Structure 1
């Protein structure tokens, strides 16, 4: 990837990632004037566009893993949301925090653990996790979950919330499944569930934004717990990345199928049947982009084979025709979106440990790749607007090399 003119800013120290990813522990967001970083020590940090520091909050109880802001998104009727940031943590309380954008001052705090329960142990996978935070017109929508293990297998406790400006909850939607992402558009809130081991056997739910009532449900109809990796709402309908059958779907407003696009469906490579999950999607009136992840074998857990469509961005029309395919170089740890553009943060495949795959790729929905940047460490979060792409780099140290690559820092790239 070629750099478009990068600058960076240190975020302090953090334990380096290893051969396997350490999971989400940072977040990043952009407003018209501010770059926001959520860090592994629970701090929120604000910078101007030249990355000069504006303010830093105190440490939190957990890692900041999701952020969104109302800056510039609200209507005149909802000015109470002006200049507010909402951040979600992975931590003992699964906290949702609202801060003032100008000062960083805490406005209110909500503990999702009060609804989801306390962790069995204070280890990463078992801590309550605020998976996504998305601003709507007059509410902030939040998806949180807690995972636990028992003699009868894995269980999830989850809730989707609609928060008012004062921190009050207008409604909750509960499920014994694992929400992975939200999409909000006008009067709809779409929830993607990537694992459904319990009574909730539906990979996608579209809720009424005002009441939280179910409006549409959809599922790939496949066996097993894996269901949906991501969802993006269109003016009429939605795009869905299916974990169940490794395809991308374009659906109408009622959940009816408009198109099904095979992405990384099982095929034989070097004697193994392998596949890759489509983990991300971004759709607009111009088309959709799906992004696939790591290769897995149908039999067992380890393979040296690589699916030819792993770590790939695929641009499709709203009719389901492929417009382009292009590598994203590594495992897509997260995406940022703005209009017809998508920024994909990538890290090494956990089996390959290829540091050359670390970076950020920017794509246009119709035209494909338009730029990006390389990074020494793993890139774990991204945000995008019409003028710039930002990402967070985290250091990585492979167990058999004795070398630490990269640093914990904010990366900023001006877009042409």
Structure 2
């Protein structure tokens, strides 16, 4: 199903370590052009089927920042960064020329420390008609106390902000459909207790909110529209949901809630969801335990893709390691697999191609960790990052872009 392996170096990057770290790269594909955002603040466009393959390189925000989110719509590439200004920019897909740029630090504040984790972070971007939707946040920690400042922006074609939705919570993902934007918040506070909000794309007005109603600050890991319904990966109770447009529950399915394995009670967070050909596909993450940070037991559904139809799990597939996101097109779903920090083996580094209707199609191994994936038409792209496990002392892989041809599916 997957053929070839076109590669290009993305330069130098310090190896990731045993535990998965923050996003440092992004990928997008449109009409055979592959876009890669890197750890040096640059974005590059490639045509793997042409010579020379590189079309252009741009630095929309400058150095000392990471490109962490990309979205393509028509002739516009939207670029989100993590860095001192938290820039979001719109570029021409043909030339890389910048059309506009906005500093989300104006809304979420500037970093109060030198740590990258404290800098403004554009976690997700999407284009809906003539509106670019941006979710950005900034994190602070003072001793045991943690706080988040965040904003969702609606930006017009000239780069002017039409509307803002602010929250003292941590947005993690968004999706758009039929004039609405759904925003998932993975950490909430007493000031914002809604794990999911739905806003009007044109005005930013609140249409609906929803929450799993669980204790603690963990709420929603990801969200995806399914026509008029909304699929939700709940961190609060480790379940998957399908909600109607009013927030009513169509179905709820246990994905990786607490189980007793041996003498430990363990669980795993459902971190991602996408919808493909009418099926909701969820992916879970690492095993955690109630009593320890490093359990011996493994949840039977850790690092697992699960396809759900009408509230029933149709199939599952072991993806081996932590996935930072999903990519989908038609019935196909790509899952990039990074570290399994408890097992610490390069054997899990891969990208998995799934068909929402038929289970697993193909797996392509990657020497380093697959940190970002994009899928469009017959092109699958993955950004690989080097990794060095703390108890091994060997660097696996390199910082590079991969592209494959995809046959079948859809």
User: Which TM-score applies when normalising by structure 1?
Assistant: 0.94
**Who is 1:189 aligned against?**
181
302, 307, 320: which one aligns with 1:329: 320
Any conservation in 2 of the 1:3–1:374 contact (CA below 8 Å)?
no
**Who is 1:47 aligned against?**
46
Stretches of structure 2 lacking an aligned partner (at least 5 in a row): none
Task: Say if 2:306 is the partner of 1:303.
Answer: no
**Who is 1:120 aligned against?**
112
For residues 209-250 of structure 1, the C-alpha deviation after alignment (integer angstroms, 9 at most, x for no partner) is: 111111111100100000000001122211100000000001
**Who is 2:354 aligned against?**
363
**Who is 1:69 aligned against?**
72
**Who is 1:415 aligned against?**
406
Name the CA distance, whole Å, in 2 between partners of 1:142 and 1:29: 16
Stretches of structure 1 lacking an aligned partner (at least 5 in a row): 72-82
Any conservation in 2 of the 1:137–1:186 contact (CA below 8 Å)?
no
For residues 254-278 of structure 1, the C-alpha deviation after alignment (integer angstroms, 9 at most, x for no partner) is: 1101111101011011211000000
**Who is 1:208 aligned against?**
200
Q: Using a 3 Å threshold, how does the CA distance of structure 1 residues 238 and 189 change in structure 2: closer, same or farther?
A: same
**Who is 2:80 aligned against?**
88
Name the CA distance, whole Å, in 1 between partners of 2:380 and 2:48: 11
Range with greater deviation from structure 2 (342-351 or 224-233): 342-351
Any conservation in 2 of the 1:92–1:122 contact (CA below 8 Å)?
no
**Who is 2:57 aligned against?**
56
Shift of 1:372: 2.7
User: Which TM-score applies when normalising by structure 2?
Assistant: 0.95
Shift of 1:20: 1.8
Any conservation in 2 of the 1:237–1:250 contact (CA below 8 Å)?
yes
Secondary structure (helix, strand or coil) at the match of 2:347 reads helix
Range with greater deviation from structure 2 (336-345 or 247-256): 336-345
Any conservation in 1 of the 2:87–2:122 contact (CA below 8 Å)?
yes
Name the CA distance, whole Å, in 2 between partners of 1:33 and 1:386: 8
Alignment length, in residue pairs?
A: 403
For residues 166-212 of structure 1, the C-alpha deviation after alignment (integer angstroms, 9 at most, x for no partner) is: 10011110000000000001211000000002410010001111111
Matches within 5 A, 1:6-405: 6-50=5-49, 52-58=53-59, 59-71=62-74, 83-150=75-142, 153-284=145-276, 286-317=278-309, 319-405=310-396
Name the CA distance, whole Å, in 2 between partners of 1:220 and 1:391: 33
Shift of 1:285: 5.1
Secondary structure (helix, strand or coil) at the match of 1:107 reads strand
